[in-house]
Structure 1
């Protein structure tokens, strides 16, 4: 496979291994960006090719094959498999060979550091143990937060014991945001080495795609039978129970039943999943003619819907981050999220970029929608604030955090 150009001799570069379950559409552009660093020699080790070959996504309930490049622009290898499937679990994928690859083969020197995505799979733990045995420092990045599902005292005690052991195999963590940083402090202590590597998307790409989508806005409005004079509320995610599109539908019903509020917005629902049939049934029973179900749309299509929106809503429970919010903010659109969406402390301020409402509180969600839709100027101003806010949550900050971590654990490059 083609290798990214080398800026310095390999002797002066930090050899960084990245271990992750499979190619992830959000991560691919970040990996391309890291590979451009002249003093970081990145190799990505995948356990599975499921996202490349296509798979049935349980959340969307449809076959998914991403239409964005997943493997271009960075060095990568697929580890030999003991077990693989159409979804990632604790035991799948299951690979071998990571120890020999970290040690170096065919005359290569050993890697200087291992970066691992997640800690709840045998593959990830195997990688950390192998690195520890070889004296290679480990950087850990994950989405976890403390606002998790309720657990018994026994399970919580077992989790704390697990983290006491895990901490001895990790040299530094890479928090993705405020809530994730709290999580690491809780389990590893306040003095554990920590370097912010924010959960970001390819801002430049999404901004460009959103600008380009404007030219085709009229065609999409015609396709969906939308009156351009009416505002659009957008939901774009999996139609699973925890995403609570049902709460958004109830809030929309509240708007539709309020007298004298014109023009009534549309509700455009992009996505598929187990809840779609029930949502469509409730929409029909309530005679809500302004709702549009658009089904699953691939990554490259989403900016067309962002461009269409007046406001985007993510009413989820147990959402560790919500990268779709980053994407929509790059289109300069106001956003409303529940307080159970992990990105909100970092990206969304009440009345500035949009609103944050208590999860499952339909009355509060209705009020937030009314606030954004109070006037076209209100929604536009919030959208501009959102675009400004997301500019600082970017890949350059990711590279900065990664460099700081590597400088600390390897002492071979400067931060």
Structure 2
């Protein structure tokens, strides 16, 4: 059985476009993505990243899409009224889709879509990737009330990682409405990139000033407080003082870059390299040149760089707030998990992997093996399973 599916998306997202292409390639899905604004369609300035963002590949190829007119004066800002698309109402009221996928609920347009679907028999699919964190007061009460309404109006609630499922259950989602939709990236693309850059490892390391025997740590992401760059610098400095030969590559940009560069120079001299924002193609060179992926965030529901790193056969060091723990990041299997914010435990993990090349290889091999379980094909299969469950039966 085939299905007509409409996706309501806030804007173009690098990691979502491959999923839309994979769904559109299925003979069982007729997909149309409605974008609430044009953010990401062309090069743009990301002030929070402190960089101009340009993608080498189009995020619009391979699937049907439409841009809705956004009447908001703030044009896509994070506020509730940042996306106001009145055109969504007739599309929901009079559309012919079998199902509509709504991503999030914290905008005027998403709420309007939910309400317009109430009198329809169209199946409502909901997706969000939040995980639990401490929250108190009026915001917690509003969230609980909003999610209660979302769950009541949805036929399917997709979760991407175990911590995401725990979040939905915590806020009262009925168990029978929960369906997995794994956190995944385009594994084929990144494996092709690994092959393309396979001969560049020594060249890249030499260019950065790292020897063949240096253990190179990679931390990818926005240079903001929650990402934990400073924690890694401190842990690496302690480990280096105790004899470890370490280097760090920091792809990304953001408000803390200048401050972090000063801290890195003070703690590690020239052992930390800041290489700026990277496209997926250029970032792949740094995956190939690295020995360990590190994620030191104090809140990170589903960092896709973790899934990317699996395809480059990298072992992982991740804080225990990362949503993929127990899923694609398994402690003492392909990852070492440390308590969030504990620089001492982070140092122990860095030292352990830096001192044992055999362990790095074994854990890296497990990463590559796990990658196949979190693929676009798995996403398509799970998506169709959910549709079969609520429509076909």
Q: Which range, TM-score by smaller chain?
A: over 0.9
Deviating beyond 6 angstroms after TM superposition, the runs of 4 or more aligned structure 1 residues are: none
1:182-261 superposed matches below 5 A? 182-258=166-242, 261=243
Query: Within 1, Cα distance between the matches of 2:319 and 2:15?
Result: 22
Query: Does 395-404 or 300-309 show the bigger shift?
Result: 395-404
Query: In structure 1, what is the equivalent of residue 80 of structure 2?
Result: 90
Of residues 49, 56, 61 in structure 2, which corresponds to 1:72? 61
Query: In structure 1, what is the equivalent of residue 21 of structure 2?
Result: 32
1:329-348 superposed matches below 5 A? 329-348=310-329
Provide, for residues 49-86 of structure 1, a one-character-per-residue CA deviation record: whole Å limited to 9, x for no partner.
11012322243211212223200011110112212636
Query: Within 2, Cα distance between the matches of 1:166 and 1:30?
Result: 23
Kept in 2: contact 1:17–1:102 (CA 8 A): no
Say how many residue pairs are matched.
392
Query: Does 361-370 or 60-69 show the bigger shift?
Result: 60-69
Query: Within 2, Cα distance between the matches of 1:189 and 1:130?
Result: 21
Query: In structure 1, what is the equivalent of residue 388 of structure 2?
Result: 407
Query: Within 2, Cα distance between the matches of 1:313 and 1:69?
Result: 29
**Could you tell me how far 1:338 is from its partner in structure 2?**
0.2
Query: What's the TM-score once normalised by structure 2's chain length?
Result: 0.95
SS in 2 for 1:337: strand
| Change in 2 beyond 3 A, CA 1:13/1:222 | same
Query: In structure 1, what is the equivalent of residue 257 of structure 2?
Result: 276
Query: In structure 2, what is the equivalent of residue 140 of structure 1?
Result: 126
**Residue 288 of structure 1 pairs with residue 288 of structure 2:** no
SS in 2 for 1:195: strand
Structure 1 regions of 5+ residues with no counterpart?
A: 1-11
SS in 1 for 2:71: strand
Query: Within 2, Cα distance between the matches of 1:277 and 1:357?
Result: 27
| Change in 2 beyond 3 A, CA 1:75/1:175 | same
Query: In structure 2, what is the equivalent of residue 101 of structure 1?
Result: 91
Provide, for residues 248-296 of structure 1, a one-character-per-residue CA deviation record: whole Å limited to 9, x for no partner.
00001111111xx35x121111111111111111122235231111111
| Change in 2 beyond 3 A, CA 1:86/1:213 | farther
Kept in 2: contact 1:115–1:140 (CA 8 A): yes
In angstroms, what is the RMSD of aligned CA positions?
Answer: 1.8
Query: Within 1, Cα distance between the matches of 2:97 and 2:381?
Result: 20
Of residues 55, 62, 76 in structure 1, which corresponds to 2:51? 62
**Could you tell me how far 1:87 is from its partner in structure 2?**
4.1
Query: Within 1, Cα distance between the matches of 2:76 and 2:115?
Result: 26
Query: What's the TM-score once normalised by structure 1's chain length?
Result: 0.90
